[in-house]
Amino acid sequence: MTNNTTKTSAPFNQSLYNLSDKDLERKLTNHVVTYLTKDSSSVKNDGVRTLVIKQIDKIAFSQKHGRRYIQALVQDLDDSGEVKGRTLHVAGITKVKGRLATALTLAKSVY
């Protein structure tokens, strides 16, 4: 298993990166995650995004760079809660909120 990572200013979450596909899917689905993009985004200049992973369609390693990624349906809390398909590098996921914290974050996003 290749362990290349994206360049981020946040600490790399080795334990998340090394989970089995099934455990990674269980850990991320229906949770709020903090995701650090490689560059600034059109929504936030700092590149730090808050997303809810609604459904994971694929977990794999890129053939070109060997980085682990997920293809998922996400709710973008920084973009009016819009639901979009996204490819996310696992190394870019810097934080996964627990169920209670996820529920509180979603409740706040409604108001």
Domains in the chain, please, with CATH?
A: 14-105 (2.30.30)
Query: Count of CB atoms within 10 A of residue 14's CB?
Result: 10
Query: Count of CB atoms within 10 A of residue 70's CB?
Result: 22
Task: Note the pLDDT tens digit of each residue in 29-83.
Answer: 999 999 998 765 666 667 789 999 999 999 999 999 899 999 999 999 988 888 9
Query: Reduced to 3 states, what is the DSSP secondary structure of residue 40?
Result: coil
Average pLDDT, rounded, for the chain: 84
